[in-house]
A and B are shown apart, each in its own frame.
Chain A
Amino acid sequence: MIAAIARKEFLDAWRDGRFRIAAVVVLALLGVALLMAWQQVERTRSERAAAAVMERENWLNQGVKNSHSAGHFGVYVFKPLAPLAVFDRGIEPFVGTTVFLEAHRQNQAAFLPAQDATAMRRFGELTAAAGLQLLAPLVILLLTFGALAGERERGTLRQVLSLGVRPRDLVLGKALGLGAALATLLLPVALLGAAALATLPDAEGGGSWVRFAWMGGAYVLYLAAILAVCLAVSAMASTARAALAVLLVSWAANAVLAPRLAADLVQHILPTPKLVEFEAAMNQAVQEGLDGHNPRNQRLQTFAQETLKKHGKTRIEELPFNFNGLVMLESERMAGEVFDHHYGKLWDRLEAQDLTVTWAGLVAPLLGLRSASMALAGTDFTHHRHFSVAAEEHRRDFVRVLNEDMMNNTSGGHHGGVADPSLWEKLPAFRYEPPPSAHALRAATPGLVVLLLWAVVAWIALLVVAPRLKPN
């Protein structure tokens, strides 16, 4: 019985010209979005790889200079783009792609792709993720609003129920049939996506496929929840028009209102400092210590005395190494503590904001889906943080090697002596290992839990509503 109903719904959907038109439009949009994103990811990846090679050459060919000057010469490191950015660019357009590594400073990633965009970009990007998050629910809505309310209005519901069909079987059959119609529409998009993914290098050695599979699961949960909600509304509404009105308002609340409202609310509840305030506080802490009562000069004086005492000397010049190099090492260590504290606090706050928005997905499921989708695509904040930490670790290693060289191989002040150019080669190029899929899954867990809850509750609600289905 359920199979017969599902089959009929599936055929009816495909025979409906409106659905076919919607299918062509959605397929075209998602297909174009995927192709464009694939091209963009390919281009960005090759551009960043080429820039990394050029930057390495710049570093190696910087010429003869003091190692401290080399520290200020610095290097740029480039954030590799995750292969699944083909589907979901997440926060990528709004966070930097490049970090300048230099002595004394932990810089934030700069050169935001959104800065290069035209004003038209403010309307949002067309990505496969956006299509599935916003358009697919609209298609479901158009497919289902009249599924039960429309049949009631036309009188076919009376006809069907008069035959002794259990309302629950009818609703389940409709859900399966309409779900299958939707699946045939989205399957080519998934296959196209898989083909695009297969052409991109997978730094994780297959991890991208694990992420892709989980991403598919997240979208299935989301769309299944939307399908159940739409059918439940159609079952309860007195007319198809009423069902359509309720569903359109709900779609707008979920897709348009909730993300903006959540972003504003979370900034109100968990505010982040302005960039200028953040930098000022960090610079002050570098100068005055984290507690504000331990000035840098005083700490370095104490450090000098302790060093002299340790080596049994009374004057700096008597030390068997360039003390300025050691001071650089120590001040980098002290600054590192400040950076860890300030950036750690800021990043923890940003992650807390993201988590709060994700749990707000209990009200609007799109928020949960977006969080899970970005995390699995490797384009969420946790991945950006992972890259930023890796870049900073590289900076500290690179500055340490230069300072050690200054300490052991030069004499005089900061800029005294010159480093052997072979030193440049001793400093390895930045190689970023993206986090494994387990990291992505951990980050996506709250979003997946939200989606699972939505799917379970929506289907239970549908099964509760079904037996109360009224023929008139």
Chain B
Amino acid sequence: MLETLKLTKRFNGHVAVNDLNLLIKPGEVFALLGPNGAGKTTTINLLLGFLTPDAGEARVNGASVATDPIAARRQIAYIPEQVMLYPRFTGVENLDYFSTLGGRRHTREELLALLKRAGLPAEAADRRVGTYSKGMRQKVGIALALATEAKALLLDEPTSGLDPAASHEFSLLLRKLAGQGVAVLMATHDLFRAREDATRIGILLDGKLAGDYATNDIKHVDLEKLYLKHLRA
């Protein structure tokens, strides 16, 4: 479960996140939409404990990010726009290293199975990741989320730059993870993916949650109109 309570962050007087209240329950995929500078990445950084809030609190599965960031992070898997891996290591070596850091040891067979579940071609697992495409690196990121059995998933523009097929594959995996009870927060510009993957959609403007909608209640066309309406307001 991901939770923010009146979360506020300012940078040199500018309010990046303003009194933000969010509650993302296990199995929910919450898409955070908003233009550049709306505070999406700042919200993720606050949830990761990479930034200290000026007010309010962030919690992951009950653990306060401010007072126990390590415990909070232990329950999170984070997939940024570009999953960054160690280029001189193979996919399986990267996964082994990161999952060990995440507190989970796996055998080589288990790691290979996880990469396969994440959709990475078998022949790629033992190749150095310096040769991987962005989509392949994102899959290692998903495999890591599976490997660490994270309770919450933070995604920052995860499908940006992916081709439609890779993007679709990513969506399937995401839904699978949510189906296993993982709470997902996905910051994105992609209205289509938000409508497809999310169970709820929030529109963030100037750090404030301007709207919070259940996906079932809106169509693709309506979402676009709704988003533009908020932007123009």
The residue from B45, B84, B101, B103 contacting A155, defined by CB atoms under 8 A apart: B84
Kindly state whether residue A160 has any CB partner on chain B within 8 Å.
yes
> Are B48 and A15 in contact, with the CB atoms below 8 A?
no
- The residue of chain B having its C-beta at the shortest distance from the C-beta of A170 within the complex is B101
Contacts of B89 in A (CB 8 A): 8, 11-12, 15
Q: Name the distance in Å between A9's Cβ and chain B's nearest Cβ.
A: 10
Contacts of B77 in A (CB 8 A): 162
Of B68-76, B167-175, B180-188, the segment with at least 4 beta carbons within 8 Å of chain A is B68-76
Within 8 A of B (CB), among A441-472: 470-472
> Are A164 and B84 in contact, with the CB atoms below 8 A?
no
> Are A159 and B84 in contact, with the CB atoms below 8 A?
yes
Contacts of B97 in A (CB 8 A): 4, 8
> Are A4 and B80 in contact, with the CB atoms below 8 A?
no
> Are A162 and B84 in contact, with the CB atoms below 8 A?
no
> Are B73 and A154 in contact, with the CB atoms below 8 A?
no
> Are A154 and B84 in contact, with the CB atoms below 8 A?
yes
The residue from B78, B82, B88, B100 contacting A162, defined by CB atoms under 8 A apart: B78
Could you tell me the distance between the alpha carbons of A241 and B96 in the complex, rounded to whole angstroms?
30
> Are B83 and A161 in contact, with the CB atoms below 8 A?
no
> Are B80 and A158 in contact, with the CB atoms below 8 A?
yes
Kindly state whether residue B132 has any CB partner on chain A within 8 Å.
no
Could you tell me the distance between the alpha carbons of A159 and B79 in the complex, rounded to whole angstroms?
8
The residue from B48, B50, B101, B148 contacting A1, defined by CB atoms under 8 A apart: B101
Within 8 A of A (CB), among B212-229: none
Most buried by A among B69, B72, B97: B97
> Are B74 and A164 in contact, with the CB atoms below 8 A?
yes
> Are B100 and A4 in contact, with the CB atoms below 8 A?
yes
Kindly state whether residue A277 has any CB partner on chain B within 8 Å.
no
The residue from A12, A158, A161, A166 contacting B86, defined by CB atoms under 8 A apart: A12
> Are B78 and A160 in contact, with the CB atoms below 8 A?
no
Kindly state whether residue A16 has any CB partner on chain B within 8 Å.
yes
Q: Name the distance in Å between B97's Cβ and chain A's nearest Cβ.
A: 5
The residue from B85, B102, B154 contacting A164, defined by CB atoms under 8 A apart: B102
> Are B84 and A161 in contact, with the CB atoms below 8 A?
no
Contacts of B100 in A (CB 8 A): 1, 4
Within 8 A of B (CB), among A1-29: 1, 4-5, 8, 11-12, 15-16
Interface string of B135-158 (1 = CB under 8 A from A): 000000000000010000010000
Contacts of B98 in A (CB 8 A): 159-160, 163
Given contacts A1-B100, A4-B97, A161-B73, contact A156 B148 (CB under 8 A): no
> Are A155 and B50 in contact, with the CB atoms below 8 A?
no
Contacts of A472 in B (CB 8 A): 45, 50
The residue from A160, A162, A470 contacting B76, defined by CB atoms under 8 A apart: A162
Contacts of A156 in B (CB 8 A): 84-86
Q: Name the distance in Å between A166's Cβ and chain B's nearest Cβ.
A: 6
> Are A155 and B82 in contact, with the CB atoms below 8 A?
yes
Q: Name the distance in Å between A153's Cβ and chain B's nearest Cβ.
A: 10
Contacts of B71 in A (CB 8 A): 164
Could you tell me the distance between the alpha carbons of A471 and B45 in the complex, rounded to whole angstroms?
10
Interface string of A270-304 (1 = CB under 8 A from B): 00000000000000000000000000000000000
Q: Name the distance in Å between B101's Cβ and chain A's nearest Cβ.
A: 5
Could you tell me the distance between the alpha carbons of A158 and B44 in the complex, rounded to whole angstroms?
12
Q: Name the distance in Å between B153's Cβ and chain A's nearest Cβ.
A: 11
> Are A15 and B88 in contact, with the CB atoms below 8 A?
yes
The residue from A161, A163, A165 contacting B50, defined by CB atoms under 8 A apart: A161
Within 8 A of B (CB), among A127-181: 154-156, 158-166
Within 8 A of A (CB), among B90-109: 97-98, 100-103
Contacts of A4 in B (CB 8 A): 97, 100-101
The residue from A11, A15, A16, A159 contacting B78, defined by CB atoms under 8 A apart: A159
> Are A155 and B80 in contact, with the CB atoms below 8 A?
yes
Could you tell me the distance between the alpha carbons of A11 and B70 in the complex, rounded to whole angstroms?
26
What are 24 sample pairs from A and B whose C-beta atoms fall under 8 A apart?
A: A1-B100, A4-B97, A4-B101, A8-B86, A8-B89, A11-B88, A11-B89, A16-B88, A155-B80, A156-B84, A156-B85, A158-B78, A159-B84, A159-B85, A159-B98, A160-B98, A160-B101, A162-B76, A162-B77, A163-B103, A164-B71, A164-B103, A165-B101, A472-B50
**With contacts A158-B50, A159-B85, A162-B77 known, what are 16 further pairs, Cβ within 8 A?**
A1-B101, A12-B86, A15-B88, A15-B89, A158-B48, A158-B80, A159-B84, A162-B154, A163-B73, A163-B101, A164-B69, A164-B76, A164-B101, A164-B102, A165-B101, A472-B50
Interface residues of A (CB under 8 A from B): 1, 4-5, 8, 11-12, 15-16, 154-156, 158-166, 470-472
Interface residues of B (CB under 8 A from A): 45, 48, 50, 69-74, 76-78, 80, 82-86, 88-89, 97-98, 100-103, 148, 154
10 A-B pairs closest in CB distance:
A164-B73, A155-B84, A162-B78, A164-B74, A163-B102, A15-B88, A4-B100, A156-B84, A163-B101, A164-B70
